[in-house]
Structure 1
Amino acid sequence: MKKRIIILGSVVIAVVALWSAAWLVLAGMVKQNIDAQALADGVTAPRFTCETLDVGGFPFRFDVDCVKARITSGDIVIDVPDIRASVRVYAPTHLLASAKGPLQLTDAFTGTRNTVAWSTLEASVRLDNWRIARASVSGKQLVWSDTLMGETVIAQAPLAEVHLFDIPEQHDPQRRLAALSGYLLAENVTYPGITLTDTKAEVQLELSGLPDDVRNWGDPNLLPSMQQAGGALKVVAIRGTDATSTLDAQGELKLDPQGMLEGQINIASSGVAERIGPLLAEPWRTLVLGTPGADGAYSNQLNFRAGGIYSGLVPIAALPSLYPAP
């Protein structure tokens, strides 16, 4: 009996020692991969740096704590005081993350300086065989401000959520293609610039033709591959409401072989044209929202084709190709 206890104890000690060594190796790999993001040029690929980077959570989690995170992409620099992410050993495909604000965004080209503050900002990403099963970001007490000269509130909302869901019935395992459904909700939004208060915004989108392995999303040929696969962005519904106005939009956009957007977006609104004067002056307001009918409601169709945006048949803007033509 005593011999069995000694053998069992030795096995337990060996397992603990082996897992401890494995955890340290894996934690080192996680830290090394994050540190490698600092080597990006910040132009062709965003550069991500941390003033302090720690990996903890032994023995059953990997907790990453990035203090004073900075993301640089071209002229844009984003600073976040603290970003934390955690993966549990027994659920390695489920990532949980949170961030402390305020986020500071600086654009060296335009000279703008903005901050976004929040009381809580949390994210969750769950994968199924390297395909996104669900991804969510939720923020509470969000305040977006212009801080170039003093601090001016641009917009705020007590709650905003963004969710992505896999669409299983559109998964094509033979072609390794997947589709995602996206949902955005912002409640009780206030926008002092155009006196919007108690506004609710909902957006429902579907994106098809995506690689079903998220590790391939960084492929520089991602957009051409999606175009060849017949991928499309379907605007299922965009709806914004407040006490006196409504805005609805729906449509579908694709890419042509030259990387140009093609498709239509239908817009219907009531009370919006009278509210957005400070943001969209004439004739652009009419070109985007259309003209009112007998009931005072506006409707219009925006067409995308051959590198341009058309209000009905009237060209209003040019758009560049999203990728070099073959």
Structure 2
Amino acid sequence: MTEPDSAPTPSDSTGSGKLGRPPRFVVLVALAVVAVAAGWSAVWYFGTQKADAMITAWLADEAARGRTYACGERSVGGYPFRVEVRCTEPSVDIADAKPHVRASASGFRAVAQVWNLTHVIYEIDGPVRIEGGNKRRPAFAVDTDWDLLQGSLRAPGGQIARGDLAITGFTAMPDPAVGGPGGGATVTASRVGIHGRKADTAPDAHDVDIAVDTIDLVVTPDGMGPSDAVDLSFVGRLGALPYPPPRDPEAFLAAWRANGGSVEVGKLSATQGETELRAEGTLTPDGAGRPEGSVTIKLAGPDLTTPGSAGAFGGLAPVMALALRLAGRPDDIEGRTAVSGTIEMRDGKVFLGPMPIAELPKIF
């Protein structure tokens, strides 16, 4: 008698070593992912090419106008969602400015979303050196530095519609080896903010709304000790600016005056120690590059009760306090006792009533 054959046959094996076909939807999803990735890579590539072409064209146009921008090395990256431009040791040479201006920095970076190249965010690394005049024998040189400088530009249609700049830990110091000692002042601030945008006026008008604020602003003239820190805030409008703006200050002033240019002081606020100043009004440039017009001011602080006790704002506050006490009227600043009055700027002087209280420097 023979034993029954109980050994498994090959067909009884549970694993044949072969894999079945993947489901169709998995294949379709994988192909879709590959297609999207390839398409987006093409979009990013053409975006970077467009950005690089825009930069190259702008540099060529500026060079034709006598403004040369250069990088030690320029690179474009940022895949997959951004376009980043990096520039090592950037420099600018503006030959059509009067005086001739040159500047150099440590680094520059700019970034934009690949789908919106008209909104650019940038950073500049200090220190930055600015020189003016002849290259071999410059008339002045200023060295600036900061902890962080960031800005943004919005330029739909190729024209700047808005710009913002924020600086922390700012320092600017004249180079005494160039301008000589006693010819300038060191300026520091813990924060500086500058914001500008095209005003909502007629399409062909070139009015700019501007806001400036500084915290712990200190100005130290050469050979003197530092002043007390000033917190400054300005909100206003620059009206009828010439476009395109001439680089020569005298030509700019002439064109601005011809356009009926103005500075609308919506709100000016300055605080130094316990002294507070508020101002509002409208100014226009005169033929000598000085402001003229009328401004209403308010002043509060110790210089009102004891003129000269604080000597705020470079000694201007005691003079203003004395004049306001004689020709002004009682007022208040957020509940603090103050005096106010209207000052007139004309013929290079500041008048409160018939009394001249200060000389006006040339702006241009």
Q: TM-score, normalised by structure 2?
A: 0.63
Partner residue in 2 for 1:161: 193
Going from structure 1 to structure 2, the CA distance change for 1:68 and 1:10 (only over 3 Å counts) comes to closer
1:191 maps to which residue? 219
For residues 318 and 165 of structure 1, what CA distance do their matches in structure 2 show?
A: 27
Give the Cα separation in 1 of the matches to 2:172 and 2:60.
31
Q: Distance in 1 between matches of 2:105 and 2:149?
A: 12
Paired residue type of 2:60: A
What displacement does 1:79 show? 1.4
Secondary structure of the residue aligned to 2:79 is coil
Counterpart position of 2:102: 77
User: Given that residues 213 and 232 in structure 2 are in contact (C-alpha distance below 8 angstroms), is that contact kept between their aligned partners in structure 1?
Assistant: yes
Of 58-67 and 12-21, more deviation after overlay is shown by 12-21
SS at match of 1:171: coil
Out of 101, 104, 119, which is 2:129 matched to? 104
Q: Are 1:243 and 2:273 an aligned pair?
A: yes
Where 2:56 maps in the other structure, the secondary structure is helix
Change (3 A) 1:265 1:103: farther
Structure 2 gaps, min length 5 = 1-23, 327-337
201, 205, 213: which is aligned to 1:171? 201
Cα offsets for 1:165-209 (capped at 9, x unmatched): 455xx4334xx3364321111112233446422321111111344
Decide which structure has the larger Cα Rg and report it.
2
Question: What is the RMSD computed on CA atoms of the aligned residues?
Answer: 4.7
- 1-side partners of 2:37 and 2:108: how far apart? 35
1:191-230, aligned counterparts within 5 Å? 191-192=219-220, 193=224, 195-209=226-240, 217=244
Whole-angstrom distance in 1 between the partners of 2:176 and 2:359? 31
Structure 2 residue 92 is the aligned partner of structure 1 residue 62: no
Q: How far apart are the structure 2 equivalents of 1:87 and 1:260?
A: 40
The aligned residue for residue 143 of structure 1 is 171
1:25 CA displacement: 3.2
Distance 2:133 2:143 in 1: 15
Q: CA deviation at 1:246?
A: 3.4
User: What TM-score comes out, normalization by structure 1 length?
Assistant: 0.69
3-state DSSP of counterpart to 2:50: helix
Closer/same/farther in 2, CA of residues 72 and 289 from structure 1, 3 Å limit: farther
Structure 1 CA distance for aligned equivalents of residues 168 and 361 of structure 2: 37
Q: Secondary structure at the match of 2:167?
A: strand
Question: Match for 2:350 among 299, 311, 322?
Answer: 311
Counterpart of 2:264, as a letter, is: K
CA contact (8 A) 1:118 1:143 kept: yes
From the superposition, tell whether residues 76 and 310 of structure 1 become closer, same or farther in structure 2 (CA, over 3 Å): same
SS of the residue aligned with 2:236? strand
For residue 19 of structure 2, what is the aligned residue in structure 1? none
| Higher share of residues assigned strand | 1
Secondary structure (helix, strand or coil) at the match of 1:177 reads: coil
Shift in Å at residue 217 of structure 1?
4.1
| Higher mean C-alpha displacement, 106-115 vs 199-208 | 106-115
Tell me, yes or no, if the aligned pair for 1:291 and 1:298 is still in contact at 8 Å: no
TM-superposed deviation, 1:233: 2.0
Residue pair 2:290, 2:348 contacting (<8 A) in 1 also: no
Task: Give the aligned residue type for 2:262.
Answer: A
Structure-2 change in CA distance of 1:291 and 1:40 (3 Å): farther
Residues 290, 361 of structure 2: 8 Å contact kept:
no
Would you say the 8 A contact 2:153–2:163 is kept in 1? Answer: yes
**Conserved 8 A contact 2:187-2:219:** yes
2:57 counterpart letter in structure 1: N
User: Aligned letter for 1:51?
Assistant: G
| Alpha-carbon contact 2:109-2:122 (below 8 Å) kept | yes
- Give the aligned length: 301
User: Are 1:93 and 2:118 an aligned pair?
Assistant: yes
Tell whether the 8 Å contact from 1:291 to 1:300 is kept in structure 2 after alignment: no
Q: Percent identity?
A: 17
**Residue 235 of structure 1: how far off its partner (Å):** 1.3
Q: Distance in 2 between matches of 1:244 and 1:5?
A: 69
Write the distance in 2 (CA, Å) between the matches of 1:159 and 1:83.
Answer: 20
Q: For the Cα contact (< 8 Å) 1:189–1:196, is it kept in 2?
A: no
Q: Write the letter of the residue equivalent to 1:205.
A: G
8 Å CA contact 1:114, 1:148 repeated in 2: no
Q: Give 1:32 shift.
A: 1.1
| Cα distance in 1 between the residues matched to 2:153 and 2:265 | 23
Q: Which runs of 5+ in 1 are unaligned?
A: none
Tell which deviates more after alignment, 223-232 or 47-56.
Answer: 223-232
Q: Does the Cα contact within 8 Å between 1:196 and 1:242 map onto a contact in 2? A: no
CA contact (8 A) 1:37 1:48 kept: no
Q: 1:235, 1:252 within 8 Å by CA — same for their partners in 2? A: yes
> Relative to 1, partners in 2 of residues 1:266 and 1:19: Cα closer, same or farther, differing over 3 Å?
same
Alpha-carbon distance in 2 for matches of 1:106, 1:299: 41
Contact 2:124 2:149 in 1 (8 A): yes
Q: 1:297 and 1:75, CA in 2 relative to 1: closer, same or farther beyond 3 A?
A: farther
| DSSP-derived class of the 2:52 partner | helix
Contact 1:232 1:254 in 2 (8 A): yes
